[in-house]
Amino acid sequence: MTKEIAPSLSGTERAALLLLSVGESRAAEVLKYLEPKEVQKLGMAISRKRKVSRAEVAEALSDFIEQAAERMPLSVGSEEYLLAALGSAVGNDRARELVGQITAGRLGGVDALQHMSANAVADLIRHEHPQIAAIVLANLKPNHAAEVLTLLPKAQRPELLSRIANLESLPPAALKELDAIIDQKVSNAPGIHRSRIGGVKAAVDMINQLDRSFGADLLEAIRAEDPALGTALDEALFAFEDIVNMSGRHIQALLKEVPNELLVKALKVADERLKELIFNNMSKRAAQLVKDDIEGTGPVRLADVEHAQREIVRIVRRMAEKGEISLGVNDDFV
């Protein structure tokens, strides 16, 4: 039997054949780690492969599959396969959107900005309405959005981050209109419509990608402009329970600044792991006194406990901003 000589395949085609041969679940796991543009390229290659020969598979999996003499369709290179594999990776709705764009052969709209430099995106939205700029930033990955934000005028930054934090949803028609605006500027086709964007978490993720002093200044400006939003961002950036991520030395420094009465209330319903960590960073005598006070204190209103925890978080934040303590391994903003 004569082995069939496989045609020369590009890297993308080889990768596509690999995904086609490993099955939907394994392919989905791979797709989770790829960038949108990479998923698009692979998806286009997969969607074009209506029939796949053993020879092509052998070339793609050279050390694992022997070349075969006869061509034999694997019958997996279809839109149905794409929907199933992508659905496992990113959800059915997102998969349908991606497949629609894959078959169209291009990404566009807001999603096209994922693949543009921070300078290019900043230039694109610099003179747009703040709400449009905020929606664009909310659709970028946090590190990408943070870099773009640093390139925009300082006066714009607090308002943009405030708008991002207040975003919750966007009607499909509005996002479609925004995609059209972006398409006009970058000469791309209509892009993927996303309805859930922004929110405090999106703003926090972005802040955590910024330089410490830059982020601290930005948060201070937001607190001055919108105290309620500033509080929401502060609480999302660092919660009382996050004290467990601090080093023992910094916990000891913190405890010197926290009144005993406040600590007793805050620990009343705290996680046992956090309690133990705090007690381990106190003298045995001081720890026993706090334990006795906690046990001897009668029922305490949950609102009072939460207030005490917030007060301690404020102390943590103040000390961190002064550089007296850090917040843990990642040392994110407070």
Q: Class for domain 238-334, per CATH? A: mainly alpha
Using CA atoms in the order 301, 306, 307, 308, what is the torsion angle rounded to 10 degrees? Answer: 100
Q: What is d(CA 90, CA 109) in angstroms, rounded to the nearest whole number?
A: 19
Region(s) of the chain under CATH 1.10.220.30: 111-212, 238-334
Q: How far is CA 138 from the centre of its chain?
A: 10
Residue 198's region, left for phi above 0, alpha for psi from -120 to 50, else beta, is left
Instruction: Indicate the pTM of the whole model.
Output: 0.42
pLDDT in tens, the chain (334 residues): 434 434 566 777 777 776 666 565 666 667 667 776 676 566 655 545 545 555 555 455 443 333 323 333 333 444 555 555 555 544 566 555 555 544 444 456 676 677 677 888 888 888 888 988 998 898 888 888 999 999 999 999 999 999 999 887 777 777 777 777 777 766 543 333 333 445 777 777 777 777 677 677 778 888 888 888 888 887 787 888 889 988 999 999 999 999 999 999 999 888 899 999 999 999 999 999 999 999 888 888 888 998 999 899 889 988 887 888 887 544 444 4
Name the class of domain 111-212. mainly alpha
